[in-house]
Amino acid sequence: MNSSPILITSFQTWRAHQLENSSQVLIAQLQQKRSLPANVVWLPNLQVNFDLAPTQVITQIWQHRPKLILCCGMAEKRPHLSLERGGQQGDQRLETCLDVDSLAQASVCTQVSENAGSFVCNHLYYHVLAYLKSQCPSTQALFVHIPALNPHNQAVIEFDFVRLVQQLNTLL
């Protein structure tokens, strides 16, 4: 297994009705259970802000020099984990170099998404991919949208997320 860091990020809540962000809850629980590899560096509580989120993540990329950045956000209305193929800014699109189709193939509750949305998640993903392309071309990035967690989906979402991180840790 590769000992180079994997940087995982998650956002704060952003809507008044949200008590928690599922990306934050999932990663906190997996960290507490020690289900994630030891080389994971977690950056919780990203600001839901178009300017601050990319700055916070790029600062951590520079500091930790990870081989993989796994940005996570909440997709409250999606029923599964979504591996985002790319991020878009205007008519410019950048895509991850990772084979998201293969990564999703062996999963229970994970699908590939072609649309990272139109909010801070997409903005962050695009800017991380752009930074890596120009500054750290050997570093990989992936954005994962996590559905709202509930007693019916939590175990399978945990299983797929841990499997994804372990698979990427082995590949890179």
Query: In CATH, what number is assigned to the domain containing residue 113?
Result: 3.40.630.20
> For residue 44, what is the enclosing H or E element?
strand 40-46
Residue 1 is assigned to a structural domain of this protein:
no
Residue 65 within any structural domain of the chain = yes
Residue 107's Cβ-side half-sphere holds a number of Cα atoms within 13 Å equal to 27
In a domain, 166, yes or no: yes
pLDDT per position as a tens digit, 44-94: 999 999 999 999 999 999 999 999 999 999 998 999 999 999 999 999 999
List, for residues 152-166, the tens digit of each pLDDT value.
999 999 999 999 999
Encode pLDDT of 16-28 as tens digits.
Answer: 566 789 999 999 9
Number of domains in the chain: 1
Query: Taking the model in full, what pTM does it have?
Result: 0.95
Mean pLDDT of 3-13: 92
Name 91's bridge partners.
none
In a domain, 135, yes or no: yes
Range of the domain at 46: 6-171
d(CA 4, CA 38): 10
Residue 79 lies in a domain: yes
